[in-house]
Amino acid sequence: MIRGLTRAGLGQVGSDEAFIALAARYGFQAVDIDAGKLIAEKGAEGAASLLSANGMRIGSIGLPVQWRTTDDEFRKGLPALLAAAEGARQLGCTACCTYILPSTDEPAAPFMAAAIRRLRLCAQILGAYGIRLGLEFVGPHHLRTRWKHPYIWTMSDTLDLAAAIGEPNVGLLLDSYHWYTTELGVEDLHVLRADQIVHVHLNDAPDVPVSEALDNDRRITGEGVIDLAGFLKALRHIGYTGVVSQEVLTQQPPQEPAEELVQRTAAGYDRLFAEAGIEG
Amino acid sequence: MIRGLTRAGLGQVGSDEAFIALAARYGFQAVDIDAGKLIAEKGAEGAASLLSANGMRIGSIGLPVQWRTTDDEFRKGLPALLAAAEGARQLGCTACCTYILPSTDEPAAPFMAAAIRRLRLCAQILGAYGIRLGLEFVGPHHLRTRWKHPYIWTMSDTLDLAAAIGEPNVGLLLDSYHWYTTELGVEDLHVLRADQIVHVHLNDAPDVPVSEALDNDRRITGEGVIDLAGFLKALRHIGYTGVVSQEVLTQQPPQEPAEELVQRTAAGYDRLFAEAGIEG
Amino acid sequence: MIRGLTRAGLGQVGSDEAFIALAARYGFQAVDIDAGKLIAEKGAEGAASLLSANGMRIGSIGLPVQWRTTDDEFRKGLPALLAAAEGARQLGCTACCTYILPSTDEPAAPFMAAAIRRLRLCAQILGAYGIRLGLEFVGPHHLRTRWKHPYIWTMSDTLDLAAAIGEPNVGLLLDSYHWYTTELGVEDLHVLRADQIVHVHLNDAPDVPVSEALDNDRRITGEGVIDLAGFLKALRHIGYTGVVSQEVLTQQPPQEPAEELVQRTAAGYDRLFAEAGIEG
Amino acid sequence: MIRGLTRAGLGQVGSDEAFIALAARYGFQAVDIDAGKLIAEKGAEGAASLLSANGMRIGSIGLPVQWRTTDDEFRKGLPALLAAAEGARQLGCTACCTYILPSTDEPAAPFMAAAIRRLRLCAQILGAYGIRLGLEFVGPHHLRTRWKHPYIWTMSDTLDLAAAIGEPNVGLLLDSYHWYTTELGVEDLHVLRADQIVHVHLNDAPDVPVSEALDNDRRITGEGVIDLAGFLKALRHIGYTGVVSQEVLTQQPPQEPAEELVQRTAAGYDRLFAEAGIEG
């Protein structure tokens, strides 16, 4: 598996260039950043050189399309999707992810039909660039009633959404935080095939009852209560060899220096990868 | 347009053969019956001869698959779907319809994903037989809260469901009763293209407030309060030339002889077709 | 049916604005021009006003994507496709067309797989803008051996290509010149449904054996040997009510003034529409 | 990886029950047999028990549909496809395979369109049963001109066919004999993802120039000239963990007793698995 970082929860990591250098310094091999923006700043060759000089790849880009509101808003985002996909392709990134909120103010059934229709087009476009679409289910209990109608939040329903989309390049963004807050176990990962997973987030949770774990109160990987070694071992068991990126959403920006936070993250990854028997 | 009958609300019309003869006697040109069953009884040639001797066609067959419950139940129905599709194809019938209930005991969003996935396969199979799939939205207000969660009941949401299914051969079964109970007008039909309509039901409603019109308290075509001439005129305006079949759901079987009921229906069709300026 | 013009074979018709005015002056109701370019010049409102002031619509835009060569070239065209689709949508145009050459230097089978894959994405994108994709089969015999391998040129194979693409918004661009050079008759049109036709070209052929009719040696509508009245009558019979646009490909630019050519075209349309019993 | 056998080239292996016992005796873990037939003979429970008692699974079933001729023939096979898929599902088999001949008497381009349309429906139906469709490219040079028109025979074109089908559950049946006769190397396997492979055939070739290797003149695994250790090592490298089944097509039935042939096959597998560093 490939150790990855997002900027979330790491404070002031600076420019993409600085972030990449910092990640590399602590043994990370992937960052989740905006491929198109990096190319806009450095040119396609410059961006590729920067990544390769640091032994770095881009783990995943975000889906730059508003698929949750109107067809007009959705169409407005399509040019950005093409640009993002082309940028990712040029830098060898093959994952693009979006999250599914567990409740919605829209009537749930028509919203699901619209979501499937729109995400299918996103997947089809991404497919032309050799990129897969990862759907992230979101587990924290408080979000299930945050908006008017329940939507979906289980891994199983998210796989069914992927099946309803029906394209070859759609799978899961599997986040350990949502695995934990939807109260799944190691055995629930064992039934997955590795190719159903497009991307992985590796996060930890505070020591509170699982039903009270807030989406934006996460802990640095290895500093919380989630059985992350078990999580990683299960991923290894099913043959997943892709990126696992930390994404520590917090209510307040962290006060510690970014370098310290990255160092603590690296220490967590070291220990957990060792416990899970993962090389690299 | 082609005048059609279902058995609903016509009492004891007898065997398919008797029903076809009765329909023909009163100028109807289509019946909605089970094509496979007719072939099972008469053979493919016999069934075709019976229809052509009576100047009759089959308007639509029903979708013989349980797509509303489990994947197991769904799969169990697929052999019957193949048989029904083959039967319809042999008799020149190109429509197969199912209805969408406006509420559900299933969680609405996952149920929509499963429905789209299953109905897509039905459409794909039907497509191999040259048959289209018509989705009927169901308007009566009492059914919107009959089960736990609201689902979909508007024409617009049903067209969006068809778009989410994403197959070339999916459209509407447009029933005047549901057009009326969802409080649509003539102008809402004008925005349709004729090819979005797979099949039409022509029914009338009792003189009660629209919100109190029950799904199974319909009136014979032309004997109620729906502006059916306006409905037909709008269909003519957009170029619809297919079958319009009566389907009078009632709480109790009618007491009158079938022949009298068919005669009254024919009278209703005569008057309405004339008012709408439809030949034939 | 709606009378349309392309610029082909009309000589110097000038700017889009001049072309639209000229077309309107002779009773045409549609022009096939680049919607995005018109909006770039006039703004969306200005373009819409110009069209409506002239009682004009855009019949079809061209597909601005290279789907016949490499995936790289194909991807490069996608931003232009989004822009063209958005332009068409803003001006109410719902057709986008491309042609299929009857032979190819590519190995035929893999080229067909690539074509289906790429045209499907085009259709999917166009569908998000409410636009249909019309596939034009190309009949002239000399083109069937112009490149190394035979590809497809019959209406039937083109419908099968549309079916293999499998999207709801794909159909034919039916050109009378290709109908003639593939030696189809009126009865071959009778088996079409109107909704299988996205757009129509109305052109005439010189008085040479059909196997010698060159693709770029067409005649002004009504001045050649094709049974265009029969063609239009058949379209009317199946309920086609869309645009029929002239596209007179010629080896040399015509010498006559554009106004004279448009006038002759209008005379041809007048006579043929009358013969075919088409109003408007 | 899982050691598998087909009946091909093993002579008189007898009933499925005898074949399963023989395969088990020599350490094989999978057989490619007709799941539906086994269930018809033993019942679903009996078939499952027979397999589990022998530590055996079904590697792949064959696609029981004629997709290479007419739509009529194709439709006739669909009930058998449902039955085969249901049988495979009940016995936990998730692969169904078909082969693509490298030349055809049909015009190549329309045949490709029809093939894509028909195989898509097969894939969609199989998907409802949790089964993947494997497409086998066929390499021997003599077959490329055996019928009138060249079709496809490269791995790359077959992957593109899978992409044109566009369903999530379509991939390759990768046969070492076709890998060899299309002159691919280990590096061509390294660019595959494991999930693009639905099933693997492991066969050997006689010591003749590669262009003269006949499709039905194969050798028992390990007794020929193909670098099968390299082939297996490459599959291991990309993470393939599925079944590798021998399928020794020969011009004449072998004269040796089946047990001897299975024993020699097992010896070949033992040596090659060891050389490739594969456990099990």
Shortest distance between the Cα of C166 and any Cα of chain B, in A, equals: 7
What pLDDT was estimated at residue D279?
Answer: 79
CA–CA distance from B241 to each of B3, B35, C239, C255, D202 (Å)?
10, 22, 9, 46, 58
Closest CA relative to residue A176, chosen from A152, A207, A155, A150: A155
Determine the pLDDT at residue B255. 92
pLDDT (0 to 100) of residue C279: 79
Mean pLDDT over residues B26-47, rounded? Answer: 96
Question: Which domains are present in chain D?
Answer: 2-276 (3.20.20.150)
- Give how far A5 is from chain D: nearest CA, Å: 24
Give the pLDDT confidence of B51-76 residue by residue, as tens digits.
Answer: 999 999 999 999 999 999 999 999 99
Question: So what's the pLDDT on residue B19?
Answer: 97
Residues in chain B closer than 8 A to A107 (CB atoms):
108, 150, 152
Average of pLDDT values for B183-199? Answer: 97
Q: How far is B177 from chain C (nearest CA, A)?
A: 26
- Give the pair of three-digit tokens for residue D207: 């010591």
Judge whether residue A189 has pLDDT over 70. Answer: yes
Sheet strands (E) in chain D: 2-5, 30-31, 57-58, 61-62, 95-100, 103-104, 132-137, 149-150, 170-175, 197-201, 243-246
Nearest to C268 by CA among C214, C213, C209, C225: C225
The whole-number average pLDDT for the span B235-239 is 95
pLDDT digit of tens for each residue in chain C (280 aa)? 999 999 999 999 999 999 999 999 999 999 999 999 999 999 999 999 999 999 999 999 999 999 999 999 999 999 999 999 999 999 999 999 999 999 999 999 999 999 999 999 999 999 999 999 999 999 999 999 999 999 999 999 999 999 999 999 999 999 999 999 999 999 999 999 999 999 999 999 999 999 999 999 999 999 999 999 999 999 999 999 999 999 999 999 999 999 999 999 999 999 999 999 997 6
Instruction: State residue D244's pLDDT score.
Output: 98
Name which of A132, A190, A193, A195 to mutate to probe chain D: the one with the most chain D Cβ atoms within 10 A of its Cβ.
A195
For residue C53 the two structure tokens come to 């002031």
CB contact under 8 Å between A164 and B114, yes or no, is yes
Residue range A90-112, pLDDT digits in tens = 999 999 999 999 999 999 999 99
Cα–Cα distance for residue pair A29/D154, rounded to 1 Å: 35
Task: Please list the ranges in chain D whose pLDDT falls under 50.
Answer: none
**Short-list D71, D72, D32, CA closest to D51:** D32
Nearest to C75 among A75, A124, A128 (CB): A128
The residue-averaged pLDDT of A78-82 equals 97
Counted residue by residue, chain D has a size of 280
Distance CA B262, CA B25 (A): 9
State the distance between the two ends of chain C, measured CA to CA, in whole angstroms: 7
Tell me the per-residue pLDDT of D132-149, one tens digit each, with 9 for 90 and over.
999 999 999 999 999 999
Mean pLDDT across chain A, nearest whole number?
Answer: 97
Angle between helices B258-275 and B228-237 (to 10 degrees): 60
Q: Are residues B110 and A157, on separate chains, in Cβ contact within 8 Å?
A: yes
Enumerate the residues of chain D whose CB falls inside 8 A of the CB of residue A131. none
Q: Determine the straight-line distance between the first and last CA of chain D, rounded to whole angstroms.
A: 7
User: How many CA atoms lie within 13 Å of A111's alpha carbon, on the beta-carbon side?
Assistant: 21
Q: Coil, strand, or helix at residue B145?
A: coil
Residues of chain A with Cβ-Cβ distance to B152 below 8 Å are 107, 109-110, 113
* pLDDT confidence of residue C280: 60
Percent of chain B surpassing pLDDT 90: 99
Could you give the angle at the alpha carbon of B162 between the alpha carbons of B159 and B164, nearest 5°?
110
**D232-270 burial, b for 16+ CB within 10 Å, e for fewer?**
bbbbbebbbebbbbbbbbeeeebeeebeebbebbbebbe
Give the pLDDT confidence score for residue B280 in this predicted structure.
61
Strand partners, D245: D4, D201
DSSP code at position D219: B
The pTM is what? Answer: 0.96
d(CA A271, CA C110): 50
Residue of A nearest to D132 (CA): A168
> Is A193's CB within 8 Å of D193's CB?
no
**Of A75, A82, A120, which is closest to C78 when you measure between CB atoms?**
A82
Helix (H, G, I), strand (E, B) or coil at D171: strand
* Contact indicator for C27, C266 with CB cutoff of 8 Å: yes
Burial of A104 (0-12, 13-18, 19+ CB in 10 A): buried
How high is the pLDDT of residue C37?
94
**Res. A280: pLDDT tops 70:** no
Mean per-residue pLDDT over chain B, rounded: 97
Give the pLDDT score at A64.
Answer: 97
CB contact under 8 A, D128 and B82: no
Q: Over the stretch A38-65, which tens digit does the pLDDT of each residue have?
A: 999 999 999 999 999 999 999 999 999 9
Cα–Cα dist A148/A141, whole Å: 14
The span from the CA of D129 to the CA of B39, in Å, is 29
B55 SS3 class: coil
pLDDT digits (tens, 9 = 90+) for B157-174: 999 999 999 999 999 999
Measured distance CA(A29)–CA(B171) in Å, rounded: 50
d(CA B233, CA B272): 9
Collapse the DSSP code of B152 into the 3-class scheme (helix H, G, I; strand E, B; otherwise coil) and give the result.
coil
Look at residue A191 and tell me whether its pLDDT is greater than 70: yes
The secondary element (H helix, E strand) that includes residue C188 is: helix C186-190
pLDDT of residue A279: 79
Confidence of residue B279 (pLDDT cuts 50, 70, 90): confident
